[in-house]
Amino acid sequence: MPVCLLAGRYLTYLGKGVGLKMDEKRMQVNEERLTRTFQRLVSIDSPSFGEREMADVLKEELRRLGFLVEEDEGGRAYKGTAGNVYGFRKGKLPGSPLLFAAHMDTVEPAKGKRAVIHEDGRITSEGTTVLGADCMSGTAALLEALWELEEEEALCRDLEVVFFIGEEKHLKGSAVFDFSRVRAEESFILDLTGPVGTAAYRAPTLVDFQIEVSGKASHAGFAPEKGVHAIAIAARAVAAMELGRVGEDMTVNIGGIEGGGGTTNIVPERCSLIGEIRSYSHEGALQQAKRIEEVFRKEAEKAGGSSRMTFQVPVHAYHTPKEHSSVRRFSRACEKLGLSGRLVETFGGSDQSNLSLHGIPGLVLASAMEQVHSCEEYTQVSELLRLTKLLKLLMQDDFDVQGSELLVKWVLPKQEE
């Protein structure tokens, strides 16, 4: 019987018979400290690969919260100032650790940003920078949840926390993180827009490609027929390509074209294009890249030129099944807080892609950030509070799964007649 759906407020470990009254404190949040932490984090300049100060502040916070903290050398590969920050804290509840993660870098313009709290509870930047709610809202709520559980001496799971560098540069920080150290079997990433209580369970593969088109230079006035027009080849190929939403779960874009000789009187010998493919199907994205390569090859051949395509796959598709423990845990916590618990697909990337790639499935949680990557970015105090409550519940959730069986279940106190 799905007793968790009922209004029981007692928890019993099967086989242990320990009853715990669900403390009302679980629902309390220190709003003043939460907003202060958010403002402090926002005030730190933390561009991609310039995360040194942010890393130092977060490491210090985690240490004060009783975490064993390490920083890797992930930044070295990118000449960055800091590495990924990893923390582990033993808990008193049974089960494998739960992993919570956010990223430390923010997009530009972000130098000198300041969080302005308005009377209606909205928090914005001063208008000339992003706010940095992406990803400082989630980070502030995560720290606040940890502080409160500490003060309440609440029983928690073993917890792992990772703050990644370079997420905004195609997940470069998590791409070099050593996931073998992670013991968690599920993760919660704080990096999604939308109302708190929403989570993404699926995201696409991203293929970034470059195409070089080569023709033959010739004087445009004296001997145009001796030239092979690289830009004309590219134009015909782009016209023959499928662009935009090319299927139910795939998009293709050409984002830029450059080349030519910079003069009006020469048939251009070369040009290059950049573009991307997104698809929920990893294989589908790679096949699409092959099709695009073929379109360019044919058009170049017809004109007597050539083309060469190269691509990278910085983001791999993931799909966390709805039966997975992270989804069940999230749904239960949302239910208790009266949040929607809505699961969505996203077409954006996040560090969850690299976690899933390394065998750690999970969800990307809506983390109190809106209109990100713009100077209109904002958060709301009420959403920060909701997110903190949600994180507190997740960290205290002692459900566990073995296969698909729950080991621990909610049970009701004896029904009154």
Which entry of 167, 186, 269, 377 is annotated as an active-site residue?
A: 167
- Note whether 140 binds Zn ion by CB under 5 A: no
Distance CA 324, CA 406 (A): 11
Instruction: Determine which helix (DSSP H) or strand (DSSP E) holds 360, and give its type and residue range.
Output: none
User: Which CB atom, from 299 or from 351, has the smaller least distance to Zn ion?
Assistant: 351
CB 176, CB 382: distance < 8 Å: no
Q: What minimum distance in Å lies between the beta carbon of 351 and Zn ion?
A: 9
Q: Single out the residue of 340, 397, 402 nearest to residue 155, CA to CA.
A: 397
Q: What minimum distance in Å lies between the beta carbon of 138 and Zn ion?
A: 8
CB 305, CB 230: distance < 8 Å: yes
Return phi, psi of residue 408, to 5°: -125, 140
User: Which CB atom, from 135 or from 401, has the smaller least distance to Zn ion?
Assistant: 135
User: Which CB atom, from 94 or from 348, has the smaller least distance to Zn ion?
Assistant: 348
Q: Based on the residue annotation, tell me whether 249 is a catalytic residue of this protein.
A: no
Q: Based on the residue annotation, tell me whether 105 is a catalytic residue of this protein.
A: yes
Task: Write out the E strands in 224-305.
Answer: 244-247, 250-259, 266-267, 270-279
- From the list 135-143, 283-291, 292-300, 384-392, the region that binds Zn ion by CB under 5 A is 135-143
- Could you say which DSSP state residue 152 is in? T
Q: What minimum distance in Å lies between the beta carbon of 135 and Zn ion?
A: 5
- From the list 86-94, 120-128, 131-139, 291-299, the region that binds Zn ion by CB under 5 A is 131-139
Structure tokens at 79: 């000449």
Q: What minimum distance in Å lies between the beta carbon of 352 and Zn ion?
A: 11
b/e string for 283-297 if b means 16 or more Cβ within 10 A?
ebbeebbeebbebbb
Number of H helices, E strands in the chain: 9, 24
Which entry of 51, 61, 71, 105 is annotated as an active-site residue?
A: 105
- Note whether 370 binds Zn ion by CB under 5 A: no
Distance CA 44, CA 27 (A): 29
Of the candidate residues 191, 269, 351, 397, the single one contacting Zn ion (CB under 5 A): 191
CB 156, CB 93: distance < 8 Å: yes
Q: What minimum distance in Å lies between the beta carbon of 134 and Zn ion?
A: 4
Footprint on residues 211-270 left by Zn ion (CB under 5 A): none
- Could you say which DSSP state residue 228 is in? B
Q: What minimum distance in Å lies between the beta carbon of 315 and Zn ion?
A: 13
Of the candidate residues 61, 134, 160, 398, the single one contacting Zn ion (CB under 5 A): 134
Of the candidate residues 58, 135, 309, 394, the single one contacting Zn ion (CB under 5 A): 135
CB-CB neighbours of 11 under 10 Å: 17
Q: Which residues bind Zn ion (CB under 5 A)?
A: 134-135, 191
Active site residue ranges: 105, 167
